[in-house]
Structure 1
């Protein structure tokens, strides 16, 4: 491991007519009356109120963030693509993959064993927290551009799945910082750094050649 009803109202006449089984809305005058008639009046139904318009959820088409976890020294990378989100954390001792959703600039992620992370996106940063193994840390991760970002590789070796993850982050004064981890099944193996400038070039992990992929290549299968 690298150190990295409408309502209808009827007047009385209408009610009477209905009681007599008369389809007409006007009752005929009685023969011994002076011609007085009673007509029913029907109120027009009130127009139905339009259903309230549901606010449309906005998602970010594409964004990548990476930065340091406060009080831990590890790195976290967060990537979003049209509402889908993935993240990876590693501090050289522990690692965690997260997946979830982004909506209206809010990211909610879950990982294995009850791990959780959230972030608010804006101002060129992802600010949030992550909880892992009973501990919780905060982070601020600025936007990144390649080759900085999140990378992953998988392969099958002797019937066991080999997996590795890397976060590549540009240093302010040049060069890159990397942190990540690799496993063959449940066995941790030595992690080889990816090429800083060409992080998708093949690398050797425990005598096996793997081909790292950037987040665009695996976000669909993870989210």
Structure 2
């Protein structure tokens, strides 16, 4: 899967970020590419807030699913009370971090972007906001090899960063950049080291990098 360049916002690895490039692809299990949909939802209304359930948040859980009416994917991972999330549609990515409490999470990203969700055991249900646009999502429990992956390396003097979301049916999307420049990112085979911009990188699953997140 090849994603074209044209980034608009980026921050260093380990810092919550929103980055963009154009065009976008989400690749399904059969290898067909679907163009990432342009946002068509209402501008300005906030995403649904998580409803307090009175249940404790899971100590360890992973969720991955589709963002409704947008075409991208979202992944959420919980380790104790620490939670991270990643949104990607192939041209835009955003990282989020926060805490879990009372069965709900509220996560913050760059530039006021946010994720809020309630964790209902076998799924996370909530809303995503990036800039002035917002969408709903439902993300079922993700079992390895599906889930969230990330890579980071120094390539020809610049930091290369990449992220992927892999769904249970094989659908996946990813985004990569070297320095501030988006670069083509290959489809990920979990458990292997992909080559990006001429360099082989270590694609870590969430257990290997969640401790590095803020």
Say yes or no: TM over 0.5. yes
Match of 1:61 in 2: 59
Match of 2:198 in 1: 207
Unaligned runs of 5+ in 1: 5-56
Tell me if 1:150 matches 2:141: no
Shift >6 Å, 4+ stretches: none
Match of 2:187 in 1: 193
Relative contact order, higher structure (CA 8 A, sep 6+): 2
Q: Residues 53-202 of structure 1: matches in 2 within 5 Å?
A: 58-171=56-169, 176-195=170-189, 199-202=190-193
Change (3 A) 1:200 1:112: farther
> Partners of 1:80 and 1:68 in 2: how far apart?
18
Unaligned runs of 5+ in 2: 4-23, 27-54
1:200–1:211 Cα contact (<8 Å) kept: no
Bigger CA radius of gyration: 1
> Partners of 1:160 and 1:119 in 2: how far apart?
35
> Partners of 1:84 and 1:146 in 2: how far apart?
19
> Partners of 1:151 and 1:113 in 2: how far apart?
23
2:145–2:166 Cα contact (<8 Å) kept: yes
TM-score w.r.t. length of structure 2: 0.74
> Partners of 1:67 and 1:59 in 2: how far apart?
19
Report the secondary structure of 2:167's partner residue. Answer: strand
1:123, CA displacement in angstroms? 4.0
TM-score w.r.t. length of structure 1: 0.71
Match of 1:3 in 2: 25
Give deviations 1:143-184, integer Å, cap 9, x for gaps: 01000000000001222110000000122xxxx111010000
CA-based RMSD: 1.6
Match of 2:20 in 1: none
1:78, CA displacement in angstroms? 0.4
Report the secondary structure of 2:171's partner residue. Answer: strand
Match of 1:30 in 2: none
